Structure 1
Amino acid sequence: MIGDNSHLSLLSQTNVASLDSTKSIQKRLQCSICDYCVDEKDNSAFATFFCNVRAFREEKFQVWRCPKCQTIHCLDVVDLSHYYAKYPFTQAVITWPLKILYKNLHQQLAKHGFSQHHSFLDYGCGTGLFVNYLQQRNFVRAYGYDPYASKENFGDATVLEKAPFDYILLQDVIEHVENPSVLLAELNSLLAPGGYILIGTPNAANLDLSQPHISDFYNAVHVPYHLHIYTRNVVEFLGKNQGWEFVDFFDRAFHDTPWFGLNTRAWNQYQRLLDGTINVVFQPLQLKTALLSHKFLFYAIFGYWLSLHTEMSIMFRKS
């Protein structure tokens, strides 16, 4: 989760918006990567998705894909603080399945040398669950920061003064900000020479905007929270613009694993059994409902191998 507070002026910089004088609503009509401008009157350029957060389930938003760089943009500029006020991710707690998933995330970092003596920053850490996971495993120099959090809960920007960090995690953050280059430049200033940064984000190349009713796609599009969704090529381009060296690519999210039920397609199917919102993931598991569903059991077993690869992670190294 990413936010405003002292860093909002940086994170909200945009070549986005043109103002609709009749509705007084700002719209993202210009691609933030390649400056392509979409024709607002061309209805065929837009797809409509509903919000997958229960409190805003009845609200719909339009998105469009840049034909030049394939970046997906959420058309309407909204007051995100209103939508984050009822964000279900704040209800997340450490559970045994989450520990398995975090072990997978830890291994992605450890593959490139991450160990207990390194300093680590989870930027946009939400409630800091992964930081807590690491700290419980004696990673004493693991820190988290989220501008949307209160100062008592990872919102204290003074933690950034502990820079430079050997490793930085940017998990499900870059798609939440208006200007990714501004954010990455800030992180570059926090990253130690020779340090690594892991960026996890949806993969625009594998999102089918013609199927907005399918949770495999509407979860990743995640309107209106995801402002811009990028392809692998674009994220690599953004990283190289910071002078970073591409190191590794993971073609799925850390929470897409071979473990029974712990894969993206199984969770998406479980959502469809209930009300279709992501809120169900953060509520007590309705085990009977899940186990009585043949489709859920199918994806619980085979979902990892049938992945649609709607998410990705890219590792960079600072020279």
Structure 2
Amino acid sequence: MDSVSPELISNNQGYDRSHKQRLECLICNYHVDLNDKSAFSTFFCNVRAFRDEKFPIWRCPTCQTIHCLDVVDIDSYYAKYPFAEAKLTLPFRLCYQNLCQKMIEHGFSKTHSFLDYGCGNGLVVQYLRENGFANAYGYDPYAPKESFGDATVLQRGPFDYILLQDIIEHVEDPHALLSKLDSLLAPGGYLLLGTPNATNIDINRPELSNYYNAVHVPYHIHIYTREVVESLGKQQGWEVVKFFNRGYDDTRWFGLNTRTWNEYQSISDGTFDVIFEEINIWQALKSYRFLFYAFFGYWLSLRTDMTIMFRKKITD
């Protein structure tokens, strides 16, 4: 990360250059030119508490990684993050069923130990425990210590299965994160990683929820392609077991797909928050586009998310 000179500040009006910024791609070391305004797109924050704030992003022309330019005090943004208020409703249960099925297909059973790293308020853990997975645990550094913020739970490792869902794009250093998880993953264990797919995100359409949800500034710091994520896993010595070209919340259930989620936001206030609130049924049913995507959205997915199953090799 680099500090920006006063000259660049004066030459790039419209952006606040008074703090550190991400000018170098952490994957391939490409350095973006701040004077090249065409290199940047501006997205608004899709969290209601900060919806009036806008942030520039840029895509590395070499490896296609998308970077959020400005370094912010991210703790203040997480303090009002809507997912913290989410409840384990039927839609979440159906989506988590879809997520867990991906692990079950690779041997996950009620006898295995499981860690949801970056679990938020622990809905996946709650779902698993309700379904008999007694060895399911969660950890999130932004959660209260008396809840899922207690790092001592990591001492229960190594874990047979680790879930890293919508986390890698939130951290500055993916190498450090994956290295830590490698130390928590048992030999022969599986890690399921879900994250946005930079390849399918159009950064020139910041007005569309189909894309601004995936970009999710300033929370998403770096967004990677499939090739980059698989390479990061292989650097840990993991093998790629399976690639899924969509997220766990993109299901065949009526109304439970990303196109429907995004459309509902568009007919509401446009923010991420509405997903975690009680649905306005009448507002939704009055929208022909909402009903269309509720039926057909799965097959019209833009695949802005991806899921990759890794396996840690067993060493002699």
The aligned counterpart of 1:13 is none
What do the CA deviations read for 1:128-172 (whole angstroms, capped 9, x no partner)?
000010011111110000001111110000000011000000000
Task: Kindly indicate whether the alpha-carbon contact (under 8 Å) linking 1:123 and 1:145 is maintained by their aligned counterparts in 2.
Answer: yes
Residues 20 and 27 in structure 1, CA contact (< 8 A), matched pair in contact too? no
Structure 1 residue 183 and structure 2 residue 168: aligned? Answer: no
SS in 1 for 2:264: helix
Q: From 267, 281, 306, give the equivalent of 1:312.
A: 306
What is the alpha-carbon distance in structure 1 between the residues aligned to residue 79 and residue 271 of structure 2? 16
Give the structure-2-normalised TM-score: 0.95
CA drift of 1:122 comes to 0.2
User: For residues 23-172 of structure 1, what are the structure 2 equivalents within 5 Å?
Assistant: 23-172=17-166
Q: CA shift at 1:20, angstroms?
A: 4.4
Instruction: Give the residue type in structure 2 aligned to 1:44.
Output: S
Q: 2:287 aligned to 290, 293, 303, which one?
A: 293
Tell me, what secondary structure is at the counterpart of 1:26?
coil
CA distance in 1, matches of 2:89, 2:215: 26
CA distance in 2, matches of 1:20, 1:183: 31
The residue type equivalent to 2:57 in the other structure is: V
Deviations 1:169-228 (A, max 9, x none): 000000000000000000000000000001100000000011000000000000000000
- CA distance in structure 2 between the partners assigned to 1:104 and 1:20 by the alignment: 48
* SS of residue in 2 equivalent to 1:17: coil
The 5 Å alignment of 1:239-318 reads 239-318=233-312
How far 1:17 sits from its partner (Å)? Answer: 3.2
Paired residues, number: 304
Q: Secondary structure at the match of 2:21?
A: strand
* Letter in structure 2 aligned against 1:239: G
- Counterpart of 2:103 in 1: which secondary structure? helix
The percentage of counterpart residues that share the same residue type is 64
Aligned to 1:205: 199
Tell me the equivalent position of 1:12.
none
- Supply the AA of the counterpart residue of 1:292: K
Instruction: Give the 3-state SS of the residue equivalent to 2:240 in structure 1.
Output: strand
Amino acid of the residue matched to residue 240 of structure 1?
A: K
Residue 3 of structure 2 aligns with an amino acid whose one-letter code is S
Shift of 1:310: 0.1
Q: What's the CA shift string for 1:91-142, capped at 9, x where partnerless?
A: 1000011111110001011111000000000000000000010011111110
Is residue 18 from structure 1 mapped to residue 6 from structure 2 by the alignment?
no
User: Which deviates more, 21-30 or 118-127?
Assistant: 21-30
1:24 Cα offset (Å): 3.1
1:247 and 1:316 in contact (8 A); partners too: yes
Say which SS state the counterpart of residue 220 (structure 1) adopts: helix
Take 1:73 and 1:194, find their aligned partners in 2: how far apart are those partners? 33
Given candidates 207, 214, 222, the residue that maps to 2:216 is 222
Structure 2 counterpart of 1:122, which letter?
D
